[in-house]
């Protein structure tokens, strides 16, 4: 994997890029191993770290979506934009679709050299295409304005664009320049996936708002939680004295949401042995739906709850949960790191706060 400058044949920058890529991959592997050791020693601390890292990721993806929504063709509805689109590769992607061309975007905090995964996700979107799509463009957007950008070649031989989140709008506009409006009738399966992602995002927002309104003080409520080894993020994770609830939006298919919720709950249980709490899979359904049980193909069950009544049902569940005292280890998994939820004019805002140690505070006061 190398960054390529099409205007030069100098081998030295390319060799340096190869070494940097390998170093980044090695560091990422060490970080993942350290994260797993931390989880094994204290599953609540490990889960808290997952919540904080996921929140940072959610902030980056939200900012990317807000920037892309300012593109005139997207704002007018000519090009379709959706985040959290389920791809045939099994993971999720931020997707922009236009006539004859689709873009798959992976946002991240920094560069980990995961070009092949970005490429596979973009290429898998062809599995949802029924009509004519000439090209699928893969983009890795990094929240680091000092990062080196350009085009790099994946193991498949296909090119992947690496850019910063600040330049993402410009790159997408250039990549889709001249493309006409997206026609949902040409690609029904892709249109269904885009619409399902939009609907899931709405359900997630509704449920998270209701949970935070009712349970904020004694619970940890987080959205888009990414667990190591799980291909998609958990829609809403609710951790409190009545249990741990892995909530997945139904989107346009309750059985599909149930399958994702059950898989996510099992994965969390395997990572959090010794946590001492019941982990319950939940499907977030449309408001007004009566609570009911959904059975998956393997015989497992998920609890289906309407987004407007989920908080009351979860609070009254009465499962073995996490006490308020133990929840501190989830909110503050490491010294100086804190997961925080604050009310804003538009609803609730999830934040990661970096707190100064007493020594750092003393030094700051002296300065």
Can you give the pLDDT at residue 83? 94
Average pLDDT over residues 97-106: 93
Q: Tell me, what's the pLDDT at 30?
A: 53
- The pLDDT confidence band at residue 10, using thresholds 50, 70 and 90, is low
Closest alpha carbon to 280 in 313, 254, 323, 327: 313
pTM higher than the cut 0.85: no
pLDDT of residue 32 exceeding 60, the answer is no
pLDDT value of position 5? 35
| Angstrom distances, CA of residue 86 to CA of 64, 69, 193, 231, 305 | 18, 20, 7, 10, 22
Percent of the chain with pLDDT over 70: 84
Binning pLDDT at 50, 70 and 90, where does residue 96 land? very high
* The predicted structure's pLDDT at residue 260: 95
Assess whether pLDDT exceeds 50 at residue 233.
yes
In this prediction, residue 319 carries a pLDDT of 87
Mean pLDDT on 220-245: 94
Q: What is the pLDDT of residue 3?
A: 32
pLDDT in tens, 319-339: 888 998 899 999 998 877 889
Q: Which domains does the chain have, with CATH numbers?
A: 3-192 (no CATH), 198-354 (3.40.91)
Please tell me the predicted confidence (pLDDT) of residue 147: 74
List % helix, strand, coil for the chain (3-state, nearest 5).
45, 25, 30
pLDDT tens-place string over residues 194-208: 999 999 999 999 999
3-class secondary structure per residue, 18-87: HHHHHHHHHHHHHHHHHHHHHHHHCHHHHHHHHHHHHHHHHHHHHHHHHHHCCCHHHHCCCCEEEEEEEC
Chain segment 16-27, per-residue pLDDT in tens = 555 655 555 555
pLDDT digits (tens, 9 = 90+) for 243-283: 999 999 999 999 999 999 999 999 999 988 878 899 999 99
Report whether pLDDT(367) > 50.
no
């Amino acid at each position: 994997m190398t960054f390529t400058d099409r205007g030069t044949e100098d081998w030295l920058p390319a060799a340096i890029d190869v070494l940097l890529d390998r170093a980044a991959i090695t560091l990422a592997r060490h970080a993942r191993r350290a994260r797993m050791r931390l989880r094994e020693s204290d599953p609540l601390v490990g889960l808290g770290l997952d919540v904080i890292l996921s929140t940072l990721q959610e902030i980056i993806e939200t900012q990317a979506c807000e920037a892309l929504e300012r593109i005139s063709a997207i704002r007018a509805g000519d090009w379709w934009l959706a985040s959290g689109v389920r791809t045939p590769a099994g993971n999720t992607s931020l997707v922009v679709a236009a006539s004859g061309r689709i873009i798959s975007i992976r946002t991240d905090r920094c560069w980990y050299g995961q070009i092949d995964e970005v490429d596979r996700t973009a290429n898998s979107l062809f599995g949802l295409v029924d009509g004519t799509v000439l090209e699928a463009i893969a983009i890795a957007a990094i929240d680091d304005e000092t990062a080196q950008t350009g085009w790099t070649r994946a193991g498949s031989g296909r090119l992947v664009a690496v850019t910063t989140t600040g330049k993402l709008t410009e790159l997408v506009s250039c990549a889709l320049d001249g493309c006409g409006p997206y026609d949902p009738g040409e690609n029904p399966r892709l249109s269904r996936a885009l619409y399902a992602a939009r609907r899931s995002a709405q359900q997630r927002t509704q449920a998270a708002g209701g949970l935070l309104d009712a349970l904020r003080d004694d619970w940890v409520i987080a959205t888009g939680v990414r667990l190591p080894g799980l291909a998609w993020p958990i829609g809403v994770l609710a951790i409190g004295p009545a249990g741990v609830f892995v909530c997945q939006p139904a989107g346009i298919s309750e059985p599909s949401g149930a399958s994702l919720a059950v898989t996510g709950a099992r994965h969390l249980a395997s990572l959090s042995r010794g946590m001492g709490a019941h982990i319950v899979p939940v499907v977030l359904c449309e408001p007004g739906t009566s609570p009911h049980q959904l059975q998956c193909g393997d015989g497992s069950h998920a609890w289906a709850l309407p987004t407007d009544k989920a908080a009351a049902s979860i609070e009254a569940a009465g499962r073995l949960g996490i006490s308020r005292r133990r929840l501190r280890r989830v909110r503050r998994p490491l010294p100086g790191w804190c997961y925080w939820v604050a009310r804003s004019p538009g609803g609730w805002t999830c934040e990661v706060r970096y707190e100064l140690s007493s020594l750092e505070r003393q030094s700051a006061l002296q300065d």
